[in-house]
Amino acid sequence: MLDVLRGNRHEPMAFVSSVLAASFSVMPIAFFRSVAAILIGLQSVAQHAPTIVIDPGHPSEVSSGATIQNGTSEVHVAWTVAQRLATLLRAHGYRVVMTKPAERTSVTNVERARIGNTAGAALVVRLHCDASKDSGYAVYHPDRQGTAQGRTGPGAEVMRTSAAAAESIHVSMAQLLAGKLKDGGVRGDSRTAVGEQQGALTGSIFSEVPVVLIEMVTLSNAHDAAFIESAAGQSLMAQAIARGVARYVPASNSPKVR
């Protein structure tokens, strides 16, 4: 090995090649087998990582979400929290797919659902903010079939798994957001304005995978708006949702939840 280094010290490329060749000649085969096993293991983990689709609400065919309420907008809040959530989930070992590449990119609700379907998502998490005389957060899931644009859905299995996901996420949100925001509980799509008309939200009707919609705050409420405008509030919201995802479908590095 030393002879190789001495003989090539003035020729950089030859030096590198010689070092590599010498290394291969002296390193035990067990070392390379160990490296190969590690690489195969990492590839296996990546292939089996649960896929979470994050759907930051708006703009869509329904609304731009850009109306300013108490100094911010739904489209901005949803996008900002989505970025934090994506970072957490990736660190926890999930594969993350976003339904849009930028805050103001317009995507229809049908296309958002199709992105989740194509990704084979373990869960689609739709992020929104409410506007009403009330306050706080709520987690929605399809509780009955609806019909939109000639399609009736979702199926029974999607409704069952979506309900389970909504319950899991709500438990974690209730734990981390206690004393910060009013807890609106778990609700069916049929309790929304659109759900009352067509049976379920359009994104749920076209979904073939579990889907939940989280109204993170009531943006028309000054207290809620101040909470979600702050970096601390956004971070806590993302953590709460991430823990709920881990409760429903754990990944390789997701936090232990109780």
In contact, 125 and 245? CB cutoff 8 Å:
yes
**Same domain (yes/no): 39, 125:** no
- Does residue 36 belong to any structural domain of this protein? yes
Domain count, the chain: 2
What pTM was estimated for this model as a whole? 0.83
Nearest Cα to 135, choosing from 221, 215, 77?
221
Range of the domain at 194: 50-248
**Same domain (yes/no): 101, 20:** no
Q: What is the CA radius of gyration of the chain?
A: 24
- Does residue 157 belong to any structural domain of this protein? yes
**Same domain (yes/no): 40, 144:** no
**Same domain (yes/no): 73, 162:** yes
**Same domain (yes/no): 22, 131:** no
- Does residue 158 belong to any structural domain of this protein? yes
In contact, 47 and 34? CB cutoff 8 Å:
no
**Same domain (yes/no): 122, 181:** yes
**Would you state the pLDDT for residue 48?**
84
Residue corresponding to tokens 């949100």: 173
Q: How many CB atoms lie within 10 A of CB 32?
A: 11
**Would you state the pLDDT for residue 7?**
44
- Does residue 161 belong to any structural domain of this protein? yes
**Same domain (yes/no): 150, 210:** yes
In the chain, % of residues over pLDDT 70:
82
Range in 16-25, 156-165, 198-207 with the lowest mean pLDDT: 16-25
pLDDT in tens, 2-53: 343 344 444 544 544 554 454 445 556 654 454 444 444 444 445 689 999 9
In the chain, % of residues over pLDDT 90:
79
- Does residue 88 belong to any structural domain of this protein? yes
DSSP per-residue codes, 101-137: SSTT----HHHHHHHHHHHT-SEEEEEEEE-SSS-SE
168 vs 187: CA distance, rounded Å: 13
**Same domain (yes/no): 165, 87:** yes
- Does residue 256 belong to any structural domain of this protein? no
In contact, 7 and 18? CB cutoff 8 Å:
yes
